[in-house]
A and B are shown apart, each in its own frame.
Chain A
Amino acid sequence: MAKRVIVIDDEYSISGLLFQHLSKRGYDVVAMTNGAWIKEGLIKIDQVDIIVTDFHMKRIDGEEIIRYLRDNNYRGKIVLSSSVDTSNLKDLQVDVIIEKPYTLDEFTRIIEGLS
């Protein structure tokens, strides 16, 4: 069964690209630019294997999303992408922090490493 991945990035050029990239590799991906929908309970998080979220976003930032996931006992993997230093966010318990800009090959290696 295909692994379920949620990609959240408020830049559509990125979320759309990651969607195409992972879909071609057989992942079952839902990509979105508005992470607030996670907090609205739109996604059944217990059925998601990996959540990839950007850190800096306009409507809701990655930190808020991750805290929500952890508070709601999300047991899957979390990948946080960021273009700024996130060393002060160690308590967030993310599985991988990937620094922007990254290549699709680097991204693939990370996702495959978590699968």
Chain B
Amino acid sequence: MDRTGLKEGELFLLNKEAEDRSKVYLLLSNFYLQRPDRQLLTRLRTPDFINAMRSFLSEDEFTEAIRLLEGFINSIKDIPDNEVLDILGVDWTRLFRGIKKGYGPPPPYESIWRGEGRIMGEWTRKVLESYHQPGIGMDLGDELPDYIGIELKFMARLCYEESSNWKENAISEAGRFLNFEKEFLDNHIQAWVPAFLTEALDEAKTGFYRSILELTQGYIKTDQRYLSSRL
């Protein structure tokens, strides 16, 4: 896509799109990285939460997931925090932590889902190398580089860098980050996350995590279409 001669309005729009995409990726990544806690519950119980989700994810393909999320929020209205957190915590652990074989899907690490059958495999190293390629690195915290939450967080980081560059009129640099986003989405996330999400959807017991899994599935597809249209 030729981006020379972009007008101010177009730059503003590109910046806004990248900023919004960064926020969505960050939000999704947190659902996988953080065990549900009171802070999350407080946010869920605020009407602004579902409204914000609706406005960020307004496409038709998110309607069902948002309906599920709303249904879950309504269903916990009269249930004490502790009980809700117990239910969510059990589901989160089973879906994303790989406690033991047969208890939930295989844990969401790229090296496991791309045939190595173990964590810290060759794909883990390849993903870590991808974090270095744009020269921006990654904050892994206590996780391995190829955990689903970290890969989504990296997309958030790339989109953030893209947005900052649009803001500063650094058009070719913003384009460079768009390319990194497409490459990372195609070569890593798209190569295994949809398969994990499909299996996890069969195992999810709460409307909340069903909705998060569906939102992730839908967002990856939508974003891939978006990136293809931009490049």
**Across the interface, which residues of B come within 8 angstroms of A16, CB to CB?**
139, 141
Q: Which residue of B lies closest to A10 (CB)?
A: B142
A31 at the interface (CB under 8 A from B): yes
**Across the interface, which residues of A come within 8 angstroms of B140, CB to CB?**
30-33
B219 at the interface (CB under 8 A from A): no
The B117-141 residues at the A interface (CB cut-off 8 A) are 120, 124-125, 128-129, 131-132, 135-141
B84 at the interface (CB under 8 A from A): no
A27 at the interface (CB under 8 A from B): yes
Q: Is the CB of A19 within 8 A of B137?
A: yes
Q: Which residue of A lies closest to B124 (CB)?
A: A42
Q: How far is the CA of A20 from the CA of B129 in the complex (A)?
A: 19
A37-B120, A40-B120, A43-B128 are contacts. A23–B137 as well, Cβ < 8 Å?
A: yes
B interface residue numbers (CB < 8 A to A): 120, 124-125, 128-129, 131-132, 135-142, 144-145
**Across the interface, which residues of B come within 8 angstroms of A20, CB to CB?**
139
Q: Which residue of B lies closest to A4 (CB)?
A: B132
A interface residue numbers (CB < 8 A to B): 1-2, 4-5, 12, 15-16, 19-20, 23, 27-34, 37, 40-44, 47
**Across the interface, which residues of A come within 8 angstroms of B138, CB to CB?**
29-31
Query: Which of B129, B139, B144 is in CB contact (< 8 Å) with A37?
Result: B144
Q: How far is the CA of A23 from the CA of B134 in the complex (A)?
A: 12
Q: How far is the CA of A32 from the CA of B136 in the complex (A)?
A: 15
Q: Is the CB of A15 within 8 A of B141?
A: yes
Residue among B125, B136, B139 facing the most chain A CB atoms (10 A cut-off): B139
Q: How far is the CA of A42 from the CA of B138 in the complex (A)?
A: 14
Q: Is the CB of A42 within 8 A of B120?
A: yes
**Across the interface, which residues of B come within 8 angstroms of A37, CB to CB?**
120, 144
**Across the interface, which residues of A come within 8 angstroms of B132, CB to CB?**
4, 28, 30, 47
Q: Is the CB of A15 within 8 A of B139?
A: yes
Q: How far is the CA of A15 from the CA of B132 in the complex (A)?
A: 17
Q: Is the CB of B128 within 8 A of A12?
A: no
Chain A nearest CB, measured from B167 CB (Å): 15
**Across the interface, which residues of A come within 8 angstroms of B145, CB to CB?**
30, 42
Query: Which of A1, A12, A32, A47 is in CB contact (< 8 Å) with B135?
Result: A1
A40-B120, A43-B128 are contacts. A12–B141 as well, Cβ < 8 Å?
A: yes
Q: Is the CB of A31 within 8 A of B139?
A: yes
Q: How far is the CA of A12 from the CA of B142 in the complex (A)?
A: 8
Q: Is the CB of B141 within 8 A of A33?
A: yes
Q: Which residue of A lies closest to B161 (CB)?
A: A23
Chain A nearest CB, measured from B99 CB (Å): 19
